Amino acid sequence: MSAAKPLKDPLDLLDIASVLTDEEREIQATVAKFLADRVRPHLGGWFENAHFARELAPELGKLGVLGMHLEGYGCAGTDAVSYGLACMELEAADSGFRSFVSVQGSLSMFSIWKWGSEEQKLQWLPRLAAGEAIGCFGLTEPDFGSDPAGMRTRAVRDGGDWILNGSKMWITNGGIADVATVWAQTEDGIRGFLLPRGTPGFTTQDIKQKMSLRASITSELSFHDVRLPESARLPHAKGLRGPLSCLNEARFGILFGVVGAARDSLQAAIDYADSRVQFGKPISAFQLTQKKLADMTVSLGSAALLAMHLGRLKDQGRIRPEQISVGKLNNVREAIAIARECRTVLGANGISLEYSPLRHANNLESVLTYEGTNEMHTLVVGQAITGYPAFR
């Protein structure tokens, strides 16, 4: 029996790279090489030991991926597709690294870039872009996740200052952040505030014993009579439009990123199936294995093409929030299914950290529910189709 050489990249079947520009391909390759050199050799140990390599932040800054889709203030100013491709490579390594870059650039930095004062931008954005400072984004609360309008964190005026009380939960980068963007109820609606680390009354506690996103910092933020000057408030953000605009930026990175996790899982399964011999031939030569690999490759290609289409729409300034929901809903759903199926191709070896699929599947369990659960994005799409909001 003769066999053609297995695909080096499952996306080669549909020649996805052909729809990219030379610059986009170069950016993707540069990020992939950095991860191959500095991150991939350590991922198993970092996941097992629940370690986030904070020391890589300045290197990620030098690479240009922190806030890379923003203009000015030391940011690279790339197009949306290039940012998406960087997220794809980051998540192909580990969702924790894409989460770090996504929270830093699309939540922390974007909130300041979009809604902050010029003084706030000059103070924080160059340092955050360089990885000299780390940011986080405090919206989710212990009792309010999908319904942020019900948040209990509150900021009350006291003369020319604000007094902040409350807490936030499941905050990526929270325990290591130098500045937190925190959203709170006020007498004038929901407002955003910038809290530097060390502000009296502001404390963090890392969440332990996670089974997902282990190579990432997740924390609780607590605020007890935190006094903030008026200059800490994001002056141009009022209401939920502020935080939701940031979430749309993060969700865009996710719908590209999870394609990377699925691609890496599928490549691991293809390589393993070609080398694993049973009954005298590689298991990749058996019909059932080929059906699994074929189905997953088709799903992966569809998800990648959807991401590319939405990226082009974003670069044209035409993307709508419900379209981002379509991408997040579909691509995360397909990615987690691919990672789980790839683990079955690897058999017992699939539970080892020597191979990536189960690690990706565990991480994607978090991606499935953060930045909007499957259910919430389904209802966003449902409202776009029918005109009826069914959230309550």
CB 247 within 8 A of CB 321: no
For residue 145, give the 3-state DSSP assignment. Answer: coil
Q: Residues, the chain, total?
A: 392
Phi-psi region of 173 (alpha: psi -120 to 50; beta: other; left: phi over 0): left
Alpha helices (H) along the chain: 22-38, 43-48, 57-63, 80-93, 95-102, 110-115, 118-130, 241-275, 287-315, 321-345, 357-369, 374-386
Distance of alpha carbon 40 from alpha carbon 21, whole angstroms: 26
Distance of alpha carbon 88 from alpha carbon 335, whole angstroms: 12
Residue 23 falls in the annotated catalytic set: no
Number of neighbours of residue 322 by Cβ within 10 angstroms: 14
Choosing from 24, 48, 371, 375, the catalytic residue is: 371
CB 39 within 8 A of CB 94: yes
Locate 135 and state its tokens: 């940011």
Q: Which of 91, 95, 125 is nearest to 108 (CA)?
A: 125
CB 346 within 8 A of CB 357: yes
Backbone phi, psi, residue 378, to 5°: -60, -40
Distance of alpha carbon 364 from alpha carbon 248, whole angstroms: 18
Q: How far is CA 141 from CA 182, 190, 230, 335, 366, in A?
A: 11, 14, 24, 27, 16
Instruction: Please measure the distance between the N-terminal and C-terminal CA atoms of the chain and give it in whole angstroms.
Output: 59
Q: How far is CA 334 from CA 219, 250, 368, in A?
A: 28, 19, 10
| Packing angle of the helix pair 321-345, 357-369 (nearest 10 deg) | 150
Point out the residues that are catalytic: 371
